[in-house]
Structure 1
């Protein structure tokens, strides 16, 4: 009888080794954080002129809100990444990250005016309502994920550059919404396989009689290959749009 396969890591970027470096790396969700920060680049890159200071401030604000605060709150709900970070530190990271993001937003109000305030309020709502599954989890579905971490960064970044919205920004936000929705369609079954599945077995028989054994890896590989490709492809798209305006 073949030996059972070793348990899968909770995410493809979360190695099975233990230690604070591994935990911090896993909590930051580097590929997904980079993916969603690229929407900031896309939104800014659509502006007629890119103000680098505003772009950097927007990137830092979203990194603090998504990369730090949202992911710390997510880990507080059941330890999906199996980290050993104390609960108090996770709460501190969540609050400090959000305070830092809001602080940058408030500083932006002094430059852009009160029009930025609804974006700040929406960002706070998305972080807490989505990641803590408030309102009975009504804001924790695929639609809200795509809105909060896809469309919202594009619109916010464009507004931070121009002080207004445009048809182009709304169209790009709709595209980010669609790609984020697709991300969830790929990442949800991948997470289920890595974190909740005990075993997978089966055989795929092709018309020519060829048989392929099914296991966790056979199901995971196409999902995670697509996630990797979309993540880095979107990052490069965002960098290209900004570079076209700056270089």
Structure 2
């Protein structure tokens, strides 16, 4: 099934079609939310800026680039039209390889808890985006685990090789926000494709923007409060 998502709010309104797809395929607002969750996990206990930057880069490569590239060419739906499968797939695999390299470096350094977290993320990345096992894992539960829970666990693990109580509590908020995002995004996509009531579409778009910008803004404030506690 082929779809066209180039009219959605997170896709640039300027530039060539290839440029707009290249940016749109990254789903930058939603990717920013996932990266924000890794920051939450990192800031839930003692942290170093180096490791904070590393886990953010890891998730940008793994979910921001790799997962979305594989979804674009490997899923049953084609949200960006017919793309060069080999080229986009290769980009996705290279990004995933770089992400795994970062994770393994810190895992073998002093944070082995990253290994089971990474295995779970990689499994869901392929199972969800390529709709393996008959699409059994292509569901909301997989998204909530991969987008909300595991990023916070990874952020905490790379810092202290443990999952703090604060990180677990933050998972509750992250899961709630992600669930609202999933439901609203799905409805928004349906409305855009059906050319339905524009006022309802705008309302859904406003919710998505509020969650995206609100999460990122809240994360920046959280970060500043941890850096400058007084």
TM-score, normalised to structure 2's length?
0.90
Residue 129 of structure 1 is matched in structure 2 by 127
CA apart distance, 1:86: 1.6
Residue 220 of structure 1 is matched in structure 2 by 201
Alpha-carbon distance in structure 1 between the residues aligned to 2:139 and 2:28: 22
Residue 239 of structure 1 is matched in structure 2 by 220
Residue 69 of structure 1 is matched in structure 2 by 66
| Partner secondary structure for residue 230 of structure 1 | helix
Residue 207 of structure 1 is matched in structure 2 by none
Q: Tell me which of 137, 141, 144 is aligned to 1:143.
A: 141
Residue 79 of structure 1 is matched in structure 2 by 78
CA apart distance, 1:178: 1.4
Alpha-carbon distance in structure 1 between the residues aligned to 2:210 and 2:146: 22
Q: Is the CA contact (8 Å cut-off) linking 1:146 and 1:177 kept in structure 2?
A: yes
Query: Per-residue CA shift, 1:38-72, capped at 9, x if unaligned?
Result: 1111111211x220111111001100011100110
Q: Is the CA contact (8 Å cut-off) linking 2:12 and 2:23 kept in structure 1?
A: no
Alpha-carbon distance in structure 1 between the residues aligned to 2:148 and 2:112: 23
Greater Cα radius of gyration, structure 1 or 2:
1
CA apart distance, 1:8: 7.8
Query: Per-residue CA shift, 1:97-145, capped at 9, x if unaligned?
Result: 1111111111011222432210111111121111111122121111221
Residue 38 of structure 2 is matched in structure 1 by 40
Residue 183 of structure 2 is matched in structure 1 by 185
Q: Is the CA contact (8 Å cut-off) linking 2:144 and 2:178 kept in structure 1?
A: yes
Alpha-carbon distance in structure 2 between the residues aligned to 1:9 and 1:113: 40
Alpha-carbon distance in structure 2 between the residues aligned to 1:129 and 1:67: 16
Question: Structure 1 residues 8, 242: CA separation in 2 closer, same or farther (over 3 Å shift)?
Answer: closer
Q: Is the CA contact (8 Å cut-off) linking 1:41 and 1:239 kept in structure 2?
A: no
Alpha-carbon distance in structure 2 between the residues aligned to 1:106 and 1:40: 17
Alpha-carbon distance in structure 2 between the residues aligned to 1:114 and 1:45: 19
CA apart distance, 1:229: 0.7
CA apart distance, 1:85: 4.1
Q: Is the CA contact (8 Å cut-off) linking 1:130 and 1:140 kept in structure 2?
A: yes
CA apart distance, 1:15: 4.5
The count of aligned residue pairs is 222
Alpha-carbon distance in structure 2 between the residues aligned to 1:162 and 1:113: 7
TM-score, normalised to structure 1's length?
0.84
Residue 9 of structure 2 is matched in structure 1 by 12
Q: Is the CA contact (8 Å cut-off) linking 2:156 and 2:163 kept in structure 1?
A: yes
CA apart distance, 1:172: 0.7
Q: Which runs of 5+ in 1 are unaligned?
A: 1-6, 201-214
RMSD: 1.8
